[in-house]
Chains A and B, each alone.
Chain A
Amino acid sequence: MARAAQQRSMVSRVVLGSDPVRRAIYIVGMVPAVWYFYAGINNQLGADPLNVLERALGLWALRFLVAGLAITPLRRLGGPNFIRYRRAIGLLAFYYAALHLTTYLVLDQGLDLAAIWADIVKRPYITVGMLAFIVLVPLAVTSNGPSIRRLGARWNSLHRLVYIAAAAGALHFIMLVKVWPLEPLIYAALVAGLLLFRFQAYARKRWAPQPAAKRERTRSAS
């Protein structure tokens, strides 16, 4: 009984968050998904509804990844501190990635496992997209208080995997277009900028005080 109650409270914390703003983020964040599914089944997504739905879900996943990655730089650069909403934003990114993947598997490929497997191993953009999703899974699973407490310092290291997910997501977007339209390039630039910010911060902390030791350290780090 106690365990069930604990699980229930954990579910409500994970799914809805414990404060009204967090709850609102989850609810508003899911609006695009609900809208696209609703518009899709009502013939409002144009000539190729599946493609529109699939891309929209993927794009929202990428948007939430970018938003999540922007929180720390925003604070460091003197902006507002949204750190308390980062878990909600990160989980929304995961939910959208999962919906995007499900749409691809079920609606696009009709669960044709042979075709799906061929896509994953032979199509680099699918491989990269799958990589982004797989990387997000352990992050979503450990996006809760007990996991943070249990993992301690390792939690931070684990959650740096989001850098890989965001880079792979942006690359996945670029790789599926035929020419060089602006939109995927903008997302790639945003992700690159946000990752560069981290690299700079890391480089400054690690190397700036002892410039003489730089070469030595670099070698040992590699």
Chain B
Amino acid sequence: MIIRRPPDIRASEITPKSVYLRRREFLGGAAALGVAAALPFGPAWAALTAAKSPFSTDEPQTPLKDVTSYNNFYEFGTDKDDPAKNAHTLTTTPWKIKADGLIDKPAEYDLDDLIKDIALEERIYRMRCVEGWSMVIPWVGIPLASVLKRLEPQSSAKYVAFETLVRPSEMPGQKGLFQALPWPYVEGLRLDEAMHPLTILAIGLYGEKLPNQNGAPVRLVVPWKYGFKSIKSIVRISLTDSQPKISWEVANAREYGFYSNVNPDVSHPRWSQATERRIGGSTGGLGGLFAKRHPTLIFNGYGDQVAKLYDGMDLKKNF
């Protein structure tokens, strides 16, 4: 028997949890706001205070429940709902990140130390998956450039490689006979892409710490590239002079390239990239079944900012 659910309350109509949890402070007029801001890694309910950014889009945001229930995070399984089902077991404190390669400050950093005193920003970005769907997500994070500068890259460094955690005891997708990819998951950027102001390390979304299924405690977000470039649960950052072999390239070099810039004119070998389905963007009624496809934009609509990075490059060849 199917029980009809009442229509969902829009996220924007709900008092943010952060505000709700601090209602006494507001009522009592206590000025504890500053404390919460100084403790981005305080208790789990701690809200993240983040400055607004001119890079944010004002498009309607994908509802939180969709952002946190529809994920590709193969470490937790290949179905879209596997990460939300399985990722709760992941321990994210403490969290160490090994920084190595062509840098002057190689070390194993505690995440908190690595991002200390860098102002958090809210970045509302479009996210386009290589599979042909998209979301609009309000991330909270810091420019990757500010972290890389701390590591003091050497002049010979040309690329940045990232690795995701390997911990089969907490990541069921890394156990058993059928494992989707070789682990660790590896991603990479050219150094100029990594230093670009649009590129961020996200530690939260919708004003709160990242849910595990979205790549807690820290993930990359590169909004002009297909979603799989935005590697989750990062434990290693290496600067290199040669182009890193990224996981999807290892899995299938014919279909997935190092650059993977969103581009409606370069089809995936098996499907078109000209249009996309906006997740949760259904105002068309009937549960989104009749929602229209959106045209996909070159560089996911961030061409004004990033197209110059690829001047003179054949984007069809360097897909």
Contacts and interface: CB of A to CB of B under 8 A. Distances in A.
Q: Do A and B come from one complex?
A: yes
Interface of A: 35, 38-51, 53, 107-110, 115, 118-119, 122-125, 175-176, 178-182
A136 to B, nearest CB: 23
Interface stretch (B11-19, B30-38, B119-127, B272-280): B272-280
Contacts of B279: 47-48
Nearest to B291: A50
B180 interface: yes
Contact of B80 (A40, A43, A44, A47): A47
A50 B288 contact: yes
A122 to B, nearest CB: 7
Contacts of A40: 286-287, 289
A43 B279 CA distance: 12
A41 B285 CA distance: 8
Contacts of A108: 293
Interface string B49-72: 000000000000000011001100
B178 interface: yes
Contacts of B291: 50
Contacts of A38: 2
A179 B70 CA distance: 18
B309 interface: no
A contact face: mostly helix, strand, loop, or mixed: helix
Contacts of A41: 286-287, 289
Given A48-B80, A107-B290, A123 B2 contact: no
Contacts of B65: 47
Interface string B1-17: 01011011000000000
Given A44-B2, A47-B69, A179 B293 contact: no
A104 to B, nearest CB: 12
A75 B291 CA distance: 47
Interface residues of B, number: 38
A42 B287 contact: yes
Main secondary structure of the interface of B (DSSP, over half): loop
Contacts, number: 86
Contact of B288 (A49, A178, A180, A181): A49
Contact of B277 (A51, A119, A181, A182): A51
A108 B131 CA distance: 14
A139 B41 CA distance: 63
Nearest to A175: B270
Interface of B: 2, 4-5, 7-8, 65-66, 69-70, 74, 78-81, 131, 133, 178, 180-181, 251, 267, 270-272, 274-275, 277, 279-280, 282, 286-293
A125 B7 CA distance: 37
A45 B275 CA distance: 22
Nearest to B130: A178
Contacts of B74: 179
B78 A44 contact: no
Nearest to B177: A182
30 contacts: A38-B2, A40-B287, A40-B289, A41-B289, A42-B2, A42-B5, A43-B8, A43-B287, A44-B2, A46-B69, A47-B66, A48-B279, A49-B282, A49-B287, A51-B133, A110-B292, A115-B272, A118-B272, A119-B272, A122-B267, A125-B270, A125-B271, A175-B270, A176-B270, A176-B271, A179-B74, A179-B180, A179-B251, A180-B180, A181-B178
Nearest to A179: B180
A187 to B, nearest CB: 15
Nearest to A39: B2
A8 B270 CA distance: 44
B277 A42 contact: no
A44 B81 CA distance: 14
A180 B5 contact: no
Contacts of B280: 47
A44 B5 contact: yes
B70 A47 contact: yes
A72 to B, nearest CB: 31
